[in-house]
Amino acid sequence: MIDTLLALITEPLAHEFMQRALLVSILIGTVCSIFSCFLVLKGWSLMGDAVSHAVLPGLALAFVIGIPLSIGAFIAGLFCALATGYIKDNSRVKEDAVMGIVFSGLFALGLVMLTKIETDVHLLHVLFGNILGISSQDVIEAGTIAILCSLIMLIKRRDFMLYCFDPAHASVIGLRVRFLHFGLLILLALTIVSSLKAAGIILVISMLIAPGATGFMLTKSFDRMLIIAMSVSIFSCITGTLMSFHLDVATAPLIVVIQAALFIMAVFVGRQTQGMKEVSYGT
Amino acid sequence: MSNPIVTIKNLSVTYPNGHHALEDVSVNLKSGSICGLVGVNGAGKSTLFKAMMGFVKPTAGNVSIDGMSVRNALKKNLVSYVPQTEEVDWDFPVLVEDVVMMGRYGHMGFLRRPSKTDHDAVAQALERVNMSEYKKRQIGELSGGQRKRIFVARALAQGGNIILLDEPFTGVDIKTEDSLIDLFQSLVAEGRLILVATHNLGSVPSFCDEVILINKTLLAYGSVETTFTQDNLSKAFGGMLRHHQLIGADLHDDEDARGVTVLTDDERPLVLYGEEGGKKIVRTPKRKKADKT
Ligand SMILES: Nc1ncnc2c1ncn2[C@@H]1O[C@H](COP(=O)(O)OP(=O)(O)O)[C@@H](O)[C@H]1O
Ligand SMILES: [Mg+2]
């Protein structure tokens, strides 16, 4: 019994491409889950959506100019985030409308460019990732960005949390609010870039929302939300990667399916505890 | 405790979308007083606060606090802020004690790890607003008055001498309002400066020493006795107020020509009584300390 269970784990890991896949999925699962807490609390789900879509023309342009694709992706993603903020501040259009226009415009531009220029960039891989085809070079690049971003977010989590909760108070106690704001946007773009090869720009959106949303449903304190989000995400990445091998299905989509299933379970569990909370509610 | 002095000179604020929220506002505020900031919705009360908090940049003029720029004053934790209830995300996963601890962040190091001093300050602040027993509650699980109290506690834990309160009385009942006012008065007695933005006219004369009336520009500023008059209020509120007047023969059976004027928006009404239909204000007496319940 234990032997067969163990075989479920060791058998895939006999292959080097599976070792790389597992490692990279854990790394991006970690960085995405940490960011997802801030994203959910700041109400930035649409921003995550926008920035990841906007990465596409950056990839195409980077290919044309001949610079590393991740640098092109990062610049395009950040440009989208900043442009959204700028248009919102300087016009009377609502933020979600601006984002809708900016990101679908950039995404469409990327599609146009990719159909016109000859690249070795597979559209399907860009959209949904190609975790099993990832090279050691990719693992090192994605891993470095993921670990760096994770550390920054964990170390400065209180400042970022305060910025999400009450930016006015953050300003009043002398924190640099603009610094925190742009810091979060840069971290968002970097997180997406680190996940591109493995998860693709469509699936990363889910990895950037589901874990934080799950944590939010299950607890009332921020640090616990962070722990739940990270656990849920890493668990999904490990089981998803191993199961995809045995079931012979696409890896990143399976990870996302597991995360979504866990979120839905959390919604029901969360409802129950919320119900109890209301009953035991004195004044 | 030092004596905070806020100097606002020719302050104008224009939002990036082109909206002029404040134009040429100048006032000087001294410590040891409660100042009411009164104006209709959209008059620029919150904007004036944001300028004092370094949260919006003046397009002209400046604010100085204790002779320092706003930025330097904030670094010294001189200013505390109690936000408007509607601006807080009450579902946010933070406990009461977490929120009060946020008042201490400016005193902590790079990692924001609370020291014993920080924990003590939080405990004291919670004690002072009578919220110690709720410290493990999530903030959404509190009543309207309790929600206000924890943010006041955060300001106390921070230790600033200047406290800005944005609409502290919306959504709280009269009893809670009274106990909040008691709390404010005891804080001012310790030499702080408290600025209260409100459109709740009725309670202003009973707890404010000074009043600022604004509607984009400064309409009037001075002590409550001389400034909080019907003429000035009409300027500030225009047609926004319900206005009831009973004068002379309608009110009295004798030759007495005095009258009563009741001004109200939707909250506690302001009652003026005296000559010329109550145009000269007869100040409602200062609230006496409410009994502790
Ligand atoms: N971030 C903003 N961008 C653009 N306009 C704003 C912003 N915040 C407030 N305003 C506008 O500035 C005016 C003053 O707002 P505010 O200071 O909040 O008024 P009050 O607090 O007195 O109700 C209002 O007309 C409001 O619509
Ligand atoms: Mg306001």
> Which CATH number goes with the domain that contains A145?
1.10.3470.10
- Reply yes or no on whether the pLDDT at B289 is more than 50: no
Residue B252 and residue B237 in contact, taking contact as beta carbons nearer than 8 Å: no
pLDDT for res B156: 95
pLDDT for res B155: 96
Name the residue among A89, A168, A281 with its Cβ closest to that of B17: A89
Beta-sheet strand order (sheet of B60-65): B20-29, B6-14, B60-65, B68-69
Q: Using CB atoms and an 8 Å cut-off, which of residues 172-201 of chain A contact chain B?
A: 172-175, 177
Secondary structure of residue A105 in the 3-state scheme? helix
Q: What is the ipTM of this complex?
A: 0.90
- Residue by residue, DSSP assigns B56-112 as S--SEEEEEETTEEHHHHHHTT-EEEE--GGGS-TTSS-BHHHHHHHTTGGGS-TT-
In a domain, A161, yes or no: yes
Whose Cα sits closest to atom 25 in ligand 1? B42
In a domain, A167, yes or no: yes
- In the reported structure, the alpha carbon of residue A206 is separated from the centroid of ligand 1 by a whole-number distance in angstroms of 35
- Residue B292 binned pLDDT confidence (cut-offs 50, 70, 90): very low
- Reply yes or no on whether the pLDDT at B93 is more than 60: yes
In a domain, A278, yes or no: no
In a domain, A224, yes or no: yes
In a domain, A97, yes or no: yes
Tens digits of per-residue pLDDT, B46-70? 999 999 999 899 999 999 999 999 9
Between the alpha carbon of residue A177 and those of residues A239, B58, B160, the distances in Å are: 39, 17, 19
Name the residue among A167, A173, A216 with its Cβ closest to that of B77: A173
Q: Which ligand is nearest to the CA of B168?
A: 2
Q: Which tokens sit at A282?
A: 């004195």
- Reply yes or no on whether the pLDDT at A269 is more than 60: yes
Tens digits of per-residue pLDDT, A52-83? 999 999 999 998 899 999 999 999 999 998 98
User: In terms of pLDDT, which residue wins out, B187 or B172?
Assistant: B187
* pLDDT, average across residues A99-104: 86
Beta-sheet strand order (sheet of B270-274): B242-247, B259-264, B270-274
How far apart are the C-alpha atoms of B160 and B143, rounded to whole Å?
26
In a domain, A6, yes or no: no
pLDDT for res B158: 96
CA-atom Rg of chain A in angstroms: 20
Of A124-133, A239-248, B1-10, the poorest mean pLDDT is in B1-10
- In the reported structure, the alpha carbon of residue B40 is separated from the centroid of ligand 1 by a whole-number distance in angstroms of 11
Q: How many domains does chain A have?
A: 1
Secondary structure of residue A18 in the 3-state scheme? helix
Nearest to A254 by CA among A203, A191, A201: A203
pTM of the model: 0.89
A224/B93 touch (CB, cutoff 8 Å), yes or no: yes
Q: Which tokens sit at B11?
A: 């302050």
- Reply yes or no on whether the pLDDT at B290 is more than 60: no
pLDDT for res A273: 66
In a domain, A36, yes or no: yes
Nearest to A56 by CA among A108, A12, A11: A108
How far apart are the C-alpha atoms of A149 and B284, rounded to whole Å?
59
Of A210-219, A259-268, B153-162, B176-185, the poorest mean pLDDT is in B176-185
**Domain containing residue A77:** 14-273
Tens digits of per-residue pLDDT, B193-212? 999 998 778 888 888 999 99
Residue B95 and residue A220 in contact, taking contact as beta carbons nearer than 8 Å: yes
pLDDT for res B134: 97
- In the reported structure, the alpha carbon of residue B289 is separated from the centroid of ligand 2 by a whole-number distance in angstroms of 29
- In angstroms, the first-to-last Cα distance of chain B is 30
Mean pLDDT (chain B) is 86
Tens digits of per-residue pLDDT, A138-167? 999 999 999 999 999 999 999 999 999 999
In a domain, A44, yes or no: yes
pLDDT for res B15: 92
Q: Which tokens sit at A9?
A: 């784990």
Ramachandran region of residue A57, left (φ > 0), alpha (ψ -120 to 50) or beta? alpha
Tens digits of per-residue pLDDT, B12-28? 999 988 899 999 999 99
pLDDT for res B288: 45
- Residue A282 binned pLDDT confidence (cut-offs 50, 70, 90): very low
Q: Could you tell me whether strands B6-14 and B60-65 are parallel, antiparallel, or unpaired per DSSP bridges?
A: antiparallel
